[in-house]
Amino acid sequence: MNARLRNDFRARNHPAYWAFLVHRLSGLALALFLPVHFWALGQALQGAARLETFLRWTDSPLVKFAEWGLVVLLAAHLTGGLRLLALEFLPWRDWQKSLAAVAGGLALIAGLAFALAL
């Protein structure tokens, strides 16, 4: 196996790669959610009865679980973005290697806090 290929696989096992991947995928998932969000907001414009029907549907356990997933995605994207800002604007230090773990931990804490509030 040549050295270049071996290095490519090794880079994908680095925590920074996984932080990059989570940040990009959470951003993509949030962008895909936006049309659904705008559709839900549009239900209020259709009248009180349509909005009430939609709100009753949102009480289902599957929707509650999806809301929890949305909060985790938002927290993961936010903490990943803060990690990137720290990498860009702060001088490099050894502790910055731990920022990916901190970002992931904060995202999970936000998700758990939301789940407990349901």
Q: Does 20 fall in a domain?
A: yes
Residue 109 lies in a domain: yes
User: Do residues 96 and 86 touch, judged by C-beta distance below 8 A?
Assistant: yes
pLDDT tens, residue order, the chain (118 aa) = 555 555 566 667 777 788 889 899 999 999 999 998 898 888 888 888 888 898 899 899 999 999 999 999 999 999 889 888 888 888 877 776 677 788 888 888 988 888 888 6
**Residue 24 covered by a domain:** yes
Q: What is the amino acid identity at position 81?
A: G
Residues 68-101: tens digit of each pLDDT: 999 999 999 998 898 888 888 888 777 766 777 8
Distance between CA atoms of 112 and 30, rounded to whole angstroms?
19
Write down the pLDDT at residue 33: 92
Domain span at 71: 15-117
State residue 85's pLDDT score: 86
Predicted TM-score (pTM) of the model is 0.68
> Residue 54 is encoded by which pair of tokens?
């939609």
Contact call for residues 83 and 90 (beta carbons, < 8 A): no
What pLDDT does 31 receive? 94
Which among 40, 108, 35, 115 is positioned nearest to 74, based on CA atoms? 108
Residue 2 domain-assigned?
no
| The pLDDT value given to residue 6 | 58
pLDDT at 70: 92
Q: What is the chain's Cα-based Rg?
A: 19
* Number of domains within the chain: 1
**Is 101:73 a contact under the CB 8 Å cutoff?**
no
Cα–Cα distance measured from residue 37 to residue 73, given in angstroms and rounded to the nearest whole number: 15
Q: Is residue 3 part of a domain?
A: no
